[in-house]
Amino acid sequence: MKPLESTIGRMPLSLPVAAPVKAPVATHCPYCALQCGMNVAAGADAGTGTVAITPRQDIPANAGGLCQKGWTAGELLTGGARLTTPLLHGEPVGWDEALDFVADRIRALQAEHGPDGVAVFGGGGLTNEKAYLLGKFARVALRTSQIDYNGRFCMSSAAAASNRAFGMDRGLPFPITDLAAADAVLLAGGNMAETMPPFVRHLTAMRDRGGRLIVIDPRLTATARLADLHLQPTPGTDLALALGLLHLVVAEGRVDEDYVAARTNGFAAVATSVAAWWPERVERITGVPVAQMRLAVEILADASRAAILTGRGAEQHAKGTDTVTAFINLALALGLPGRPGSGYGCVTGQGNGQGGREHGQKADQLPGYRKIDDPAARAHVARVWGIDPDEIPGPGRSAYELLDALGTAGGPRALLLFGSNPVVSAPRSGHVTERLKGLDLLVVSDLVMSETAALADVVLPTTQWAEEEGTMTNLEGRVLLRRRAVAAPEGVRSDLEVLRGLAVRLAGPDADGSRGAAGFPTDPREVFEELRRASAGGTADYAGITYERIAAETGVFWPCPAEDHPGTPRPFLDGFATPDGRARFVPVEHRPPGEDVDADYPLYLTTGRVLAHYQSGAQTRRIAALNAVVSETFVEIHPDLAERLEVSPGQRLRVVSRRGETEGAARVNPAIRADTVFMPFHWIGANVLTNPELDPVSRMPEFKVCAVRVERVG
Ligand SMILES: Nc1nc2c(c(=O)[nH]1)N[C@H]1C(S)=C(S)[C@@H](COP(=O)(O)OP(=O)(O)OC[C@H]3O[C@@H](n4cnc5c(=O)[nH]c(N)nc54)[C@H](O)[C@@H]3O)O[C@H]1N2
Ligand SMILES: Nc1nc2c(c(=O)[nH]1)N[C@H]1C(S)=C(S)[C@@H](COP(=O)(O)OP(=O)(O)OC[C@H]3O[C@@H](n4cnc5c(=O)[nH]c(N)nc54)[C@H](O)[C@@H]3O)O[C@H]1N2
Ligand code: SF4
Ligand SMILES: [Mo]
């Protein structure tokens, strides 16, 4: 724990922080799904000056902790990296000129190619209000089916598996503080010590009580170092590993028979299917020794309260849905989900990764986590939107399929992008960049000139976290309030204002109210009131949540169907969200990765994150204090492999896959498997290499494993 404290406790700031002149405002960090509570105080010259950030004590997820990214988040509010004027083909223009241009082009392209000629791509960092209005804008103002978002790249496999098993997908179906009371936690493919440092306190609190932590990761990460047991499989083999663990649970008579009988369906078929996954076979596939598997099962089965968690390491695969299903099957056999202090959970990633998937920016969804092809859902939402149900388009393409179709025959000719930077973060990014360049119109709304914004015909400068109000739903399903702490710089507008500006122009002067100004409010509270009605009766029911309640109760857990309803911290205690209230076991089989190693590409590449940078790096690469920690990409490589390739630390390496090649400095590190190299994806590079093969259920790309060759440069 010690080395981590420096990142969790008070970080000495090198930023100039003036004495605050305004009372601090209680809000949340702009970055990840932990949504750490923080107080933000504006300095003397709000809008261009400085802010002071301190952690809040009252938000249980971080209770006084922040990571480096949180401590330094103020720098982008005040620094020179900010976009402050709309750009048309690179030239500064006024807002009317920019929005008129976009609306005219949309009208012309839709006249020629139909409504689906224009696409929308959103993000899991957008507030619930923005995500909701973006989904409505696509369906009501553009009448396009072509909308999806970067959450498809994030937790979509876990979401699909949870829906399949529990009838509902809420990342953690219990408060994060429950983890401290567990006797065992198994974390498959998550590196919280780097991706959510204050999360670690819940795991260490568990260990301080005598609970035990098991981590599954091909690398001995900072998180794996905290574990009592680290299983180090070959990337892409978690499914076999989970089947092997369940095999042992069954073989050793550790199934919770009473729970299985009372609360689940379908166990017999799963028990039969894991019979063939005896531990020696699993060891051959995963590289995890049988003794370690036995120990893992013993720890989990002995625990009276235990949690199984998955992160992107287990999920971002072309078999991610089945992999998570296999871990859920294991959790069900052990009798964990829906028991106090126990369960299965997905550690969701982006700031509003949970809420972003609930209110309609997903290709197949309507607000309230409703299905777009469900006639009752369409009727309900159409009523709220004031349109005919038949006017709501059907499901569109998933994120990668959408990006891949841009500018092609039959694909969208225009893209409006809010809150993502796919030039860096999409799989097979070189190809995606070509597709973006082939568009007739690319419009990007962003705070900074991201790599994707740099390709855009029109760039729209937007307000960001501390300059606006809205709600964010954290990894626990707790709806939180983002508050305005500082004035936005002159010239920027909120995404809500952008959507209304375009909707009004597209609707024309004689449009009825719902398609024009009245249908697109710019006050987040007004949007939230509509979201409450649109979500009412849906799976993710926000009908009883108000800004006032969130403030008074430090967040409200959905589902919350009425203002006098307390919210639902643990939705599965009395039953699952399936028609009969029972969880479903689903039989799944292991299969190799989309692309296995061979003579030409003999190594596995896996990708992920480092503490100091966030996602595509568009924000954090512009923060000096974070660049001082890591300023460029690297290739993590085992000493044995380094010796074989005659590579010394720091040497420039070329990494080549079937999609392309990139370079990075060697970081020789015994913490990684010798058959695998690791690259962070915060810089252009890692995704030039990745394989866009998709999971058949979730449409998640295979970010976490592909075959590469590594060469010395020069
Ligand atoms: N610093 C930082 N924090 C972040 C973010 C960020 O960009 N930077 N992003 C946020 C977001 S959106 C997300 S989704 C979360 C992600 O949070 P995590 O899931 O913790 O992040 P990753 O680093 O992508 O992957 C976790 C681990 O999976 C391991 N892994 C790779 N391949 C495999 C495999 O086949 N099996 C297993 N079991 N493990 C494997 C990697 O070695 C890595 O240590 O982080 C959030 N927090
Ligand atoms: N190889 C590899 N690739 C990956 C992953 C991996 O593990 N490996 N992880 C995937 C995952 S889990 C994720 S979540 C994606 C994330 O990758 P991206 O979708 O690229 O996410 P960000 O970098 O957060 O991009 C957000 C952009 O929106 C801007 N922005 C922030 N807030 C707002 C706002 O309120 N409004 C508007 N209009 N713009 C805003 C930011 O400045 C930034 O440019 O990457 C995926 N790609
Ligand atoms: S990036 Fe995540 S862990 Fe770090 S301070 Fe922000 S919310 Fe907390
Ligand atoms: Mo993510």
Q: Is the CB of 636 under 6 A from ligand 2?
A: no
> How would residue 437 be classed by pLDDT, with cut points 50, 70 and 90?
very high
Atom of ligand 2 nearest to the CA of 452: 44
> How would residue 140 be classed by pLDDT, with cut points 50, 70 and 90?
very high
Among 428, 427, 707, 710, which Cα is nearest to 593's?
707
Res. 21: pLDDT tops 70? no
Res. 19: pLDDT tops 60? no
Q: Are residues 171 and 134 in the same domain?
A: no
**Angle, CA of 242, 246 and 251, to the nearest 5°:** 145
Q: Do 678 and 665 meet the contact criterion of CB atoms below 8 Å apart?
A: no
- State in Å: Cα 45 to ligand 2 middle: 30
Q: What are phi and psi of 16, to 5 degrees?
A: -75, 115
Atom of ligand 2 nearest to the CA of 450: 44
Q: Are residues 145 and 161 in the same domain?
A: no
Q: Do 470 and 524 meet the contact criterion of CB atoms below 8 Å apart?
A: yes
Residue 270 lies in a domain: yes
Name the closest-CA residue to atom 46, ligand 1: 349
pLDDT at residue number 44: 58
Distance (Å, rounded) from C-alpha 18 to C-alpha 44?
A: 7
Q: Are residues 160 and 149 in the same domain?
A: no
pLDDT at residue number 111: 98
- State in Å: Cα 195 to ligand 1 middle: 7
Atom of ligand 1 nearest to the CA of 223: 44
Atom of ligand 1 nearest to the CA of 610: 1
Atom of ligand 1 nearest to the CA of 219: 42
Q: Which ligand approaches the C-alpha of residue 424 most closely?
A: 2
- Lowest-confidence range among 42-46, 522-526, 570-574, 610-614? 42-46
Q: What is the CATH number of the domain that holds 612?
A: 2.40.40.20
The mean predicted confidence, pLDDT, of the chain is 95
Q: Are residues 71 and 134 in the same domain?
A: no
Q: Are residues 399 and 512 in the same domain?
A: yes
Q: What's the number of domains the chain is made of?
A: 4
Question: Tens digits of per-residue pLDDT, 447-495?
Answer: 999 999 999 999 999 999 999 999 999 999 999 999 999 999 999 999 9
Residue 462 lies in a domain: yes
pLDDT at residue number 605: 98
pLDDT at residue number 15: 45
Q: With the C-alpha atoms ordered 263, 267, 271, 273, is the resulting torsion angle positive or negative?
A: negative
Name the closest-CA residue to atom 3, ligand 3: 196
In 13-69, DSSP assigns E strands to: 25-28, 37-42, 51-55
Q: Which of the listed residues 347, 365, 394 is the one where a domain comes to its end?
A: 347
Residue 4 lies in a domain: no
Domain that holds residue 235: 156-347
Residue 576 lies in a domain: no
Question: Tens digits of per-residue pLDDT, 265-282?
Answer: 999 999 999 999 999 999
Q: Are residues 318 and 356 in the same domain?
A: no
Name the closest-CA residue to atom 26, ligand 2: 420
Q: What is the CATH number of the domain that holds 186?
A: 3.40.228.10
Give the helix/strand (H/E) hosting 291.
helix 290-302
Q: Do 453 and 419 meet the contact criterion of CB atoms below 8 Å apart?
A: no
> How would residue 404 be classed by pLDDT, with cut points 50, 70 and 90?
very high
pLDDT at residue number 23: 87
pLDDT at residue number 48: 53
Atom of ligand 1 nearest to the CA of 704: 32
Q: Is the CB of 704 under 6 A from ligand 1?
A: yes
Question: Tens digits of per-residue pLDDT, 630-670?
Answer: 999 999 999 999 999 999 999 999 999 999 999 999 999 99
Q: Are residues 320 and 364 in the same domain?
A: no
- State in Å: Cα 420 to ligand 2 middle: 4
Q: Is the CB of 608 under 6 A from ligand 1?
A: yes
Residue 18 lies in a domain: no
- State in Å: Cα 701 to ligand 1 middle: 14
- State in Å: Cα 194 to ligand 4 middle: 14
Instruction: Give 479's strand partners.
Output: 473, 556
- Lowest-confidence range among 358-362, 507-511, 690-694? 507-511
Mean pLDDT of the 538-558 span: 97
Q: Which ligand approaches the C-alpha of residue 445 most closely?
A: 2
- State in Å: Cα 345 to ligand 4 middle: 15
Q: Which ligand approaches the C-alpha of residue 324 most closely?
A: 1
- State in Å: Cα 316 to ligand 1 middle: 9
Q: Is the CB of 314 under 6 A from ligand 1?
A: yes
Residue, of 500 and 44, whose pLDDT is higher: 500
Q: Is the CB of 421 under 6 A from ligand 2?
A: yes
Q: What is the CATH number of the domain that holds 113?
A: 3.40.50.740
- State in Å: Cα 530 to ligand 1 middle: 35
- State in Å: Cα 198 to ligand 4 middle: 17
Res. 299: pLDDT tops 80? yes
Q: Which of the listed residues 302, 323, 347 is the one where a domain comes to its end?
A: 347
CA distances from 25 to 22, 41, 550, 624 (A): 9, 6, 15, 25
Res. 50: pLDDT tops 50? yes
Helix (H, G, I), strand (E, B) or coil at 207: helix
Distance (Å, rounded) from C-alpha 462 to C-alpha 22?
A: 23
Mean pLDDT of the 291-312 span: 98
Q: What is the CATH number of the domain that holds 38?
A: 2.20.25.90
Res. 516: pLDDT tops 90? no
Instruction: Give 531's strand partners.
Output: none
Instruction: Give 415's strand partners.
Output: 119, 442
Q: Is the CB of 616 under 6 A from ligand 2?
A: yes
Name the closest-CA residue to atom 7, ligand 2: 608
Res. 16: pLDDT tops 80? no
Q: Is the CB of 312 under 6 A from ligand 2?
A: yes
Q: With the C-alpha atoms ordered 429, 431, 434, 440, is the resulting torsion angle positive or negative?
A: negative
Task: Work out the angle between the directed axes of helices 128-136 and 524-535 (0-180°, nearest 10).
Answer: 70
- State in Å: Cα 109 to ligand 3 middle: 41
Q: Are residues 316 and 356 in the same domain?
A: no
- State in Å: Cα 337 to ligand 2 middle: 31
pLDDT at residue number 603: 98
Q: Are residues 410 and 501 in the same domain?
A: yes
Atom of ligand 3 nearest to the CA of 29: 6
Q: Do 681 and 621 meet the contact criterion of CB atoms below 8 Å apart?
A: no
- Asked whether the whole model's pTM tops 0.75, one would answer yes
- State in Å: Cα 426 to ligand 4 middle: 12
Q: Is the CB of 452 under 6 A from ligand 2?
A: no
Q: Are residues 484 and 412 in the same domain?
A: yes
Rounded (to 5) percent helix, strand, coil in the chain: 35, 20, 45
pLDDT at residue number 514: 82
Question: Tens digits of per-residue pLDDT, 572-600?
Answer: 999 999 999 999 999 999 999 999 999 99
Q: Which ligand approaches the C-alpha of residue 195 most closely?
A: 1
- State in Å: Cα 18 to ligand 4 middle: 34
- State in Å: Cα 207 to ligand 1 middle: 22
pLDDT at residue number 20: 54
pLDDT at residue number 79: 75
Atom of ligand 3 nearest to the CA of 195: 3
Q: Which position has the token pair 């590993």?
A: 241
Name the closest-CA residue to atom 20, ligand 2: 421
Sequence-distant (6+) residues with CB within 8 A of 119 are 144, 146, 147, 396, 402, 406, 412, 414, 415, 416
Q: Which ligand approaches the C-alpha of residue 465 most closely?
A: 2
- State in Å: Cα 170 to ligand 1 middle: 19
Q: Is the CB of 126 under 6 A from ligand 2?
A: yes
Q: In 10 A of CB 213, how many CB atoms?
A: 22
Mean pLDDT of the 402-410 span: 97
Atom of ligand 3 nearest to the CA of 55: 5
Residue 2 lies in a domain: no
Name the closest-CA residue to atom 8, ligand 3: 36
Q: Are residues 404 and 465 in the same domain?
A: yes
Q: Which of the listed residues 557, 583, 618 is the one where a domain comes to its end?
A: 557
Q: Which ligand approaches the C-alpha of residue 312 most closely?
A: 1
Q: Is the CB of 356 under 6 A from ligand 2?
A: no
Distance (Å, rounded) from C-alpha 577 to C-alpha 213?
A: 29
Residue 13 lies in a domain: no
Residue 589 lies in a domain: no
Q: Are residues 98 and 164 in the same domain?
A: no
Res. 311: pLDDT tops 70? yes
